[in-house]
Amino acid sequence: MNLFRSEEHARRWSQFNPASEEGFIALPDLADFFGTETRQHMLDANYLSVWYPRRAAERRAVLERIGKTSPFWLGTPAPA
Amino acid sequence: MAEPRLLDLMFSRIMRGLVESGRAPHYAELAPGLGLTVEDSRRLLGELMQAYPIGWLHPETDYVASFPPLNNLPTQYRITVRGEQKWFAQCGFEATSVTWLFPETTVRIEAPCLDCGDPVRVDMRDGRLITVDPPSIVGHLNYGFGPSRGRPSYL
């Protein structure tokens, strides 16, 4: 889960996984993905019990909105 | 299983400790404020990390290594706030979330590109991207999310 100067730089990275072509995300989308409502409550006294459990559904909603609905992004098993 | 109130309290003390000092407090430091013995604080830390599995302890220890979005163990993702660089993000993705720990403040993310070593720099404020240098910066997930990925989650 890294930041690169460009897609070309990521592809030239010595550890680039050839199966990760769909792993690119534009920076504004990334800021949305990691800027959901629960993230804005990380300093709240009840973050762990109240906000953290909502995180998974929220992440999925963002991924669906930005069109990243493959198992690679959603974390679901790939079709056999 | 510990009371949710205690887990919340320890979580909050660790997160705020990281924000204030750049390092996660040790469980022994946390014990008095939590009203616990040192050993009970150590056990609570273990439960906390199970409840917050996106962070982790250094293997074979009770030392907090990662407590996202920040990392207690330095990474290449350096975070600077008010001219002070004393924080590290867990990964490039979590780095974009650090802005929420410093409200109404500009947060700078700097890292060397893993391909060429040249700098990647992003300034954010309250979730907004202020500076992106170079403008072509992208995020990249090298292994898919989920348990089937078979790789550490930060890669």
> Do the Cβ atoms of A25 and B140 come within 8 Å?
yes
Q: Are residues B82 and B55 in the same domain?
A: no
In a domain, B73, yes or no: no
Task: Please tell me whether residue A32 adopts helix, strand or coil conformation.
Answer: helix
B97 SS3 class:
coil
Contact: A43, B19; criterion CB under 8 Å: yes
Asked if the structure places residue B139 within a domain, the reply is no
Specify whether B121 is located in the same domain as B83: yes
| Residue B86 lies inside a defined structural domain of this protein | yes
pLDDT tens-digit map of A13-61? 999 999 899 999 999 999 999 999 999 999 999 999 999 999 999 999 9
Q: Look up residue A56 and give its DSSP letter.
A: H
pLDDT at B1: 80
A34/B136 touch (CB, cutoff 8 Å), yes or no:
no
Are B88 and B111 in a shared domain?
A: yes
Domain end marker among B63, B90, B106: B63
Domain assignment present for residue B150? The answer is: no
Could you give the number of structural domains in chain B?
Answer: 2
Q: How far apart are CA A69 and CA B21, in angstroms?
A: 38
Indicate whether B72 belongs to any domain. Answer: no
pLDDT, tens digit, for every residue of B1-51? 889 999 999 999 999 999 999 999 999 999 999 999 999 999 999 999 999
Nearest alpha-carbon partner for B111 in B102, B122, B99 = B122
| Structural domain contains residue B147 | no
- CA dist list (Å): A57 to A45, A51, A54, B9, B66: 21, 11, 6, 24, 23
Residue B119, SS3? Answer: strand
Using CA atoms, how far apart are residues A66 and B108, in angstroms rounded to an integer?
25
Q: What 3-state DSSP class applies to A62? A: helix
Instruction: For residue B40, give its domain range.
Output: 4-63
ipTM for the complex? 0.94
Residues of B in contact with A48 (CB under 8 A): 4, 7-8, 11-12, 48, 51-52
Do B57 and B100 have their domain in common? no
Residues 48 to 77 of A: which have CB under 8 A from any B CB? 48-49, 52, 70-77
Q: Are strands B128-133 and B138-140 parallel, antiparallel or unpaired?
A: unpaired
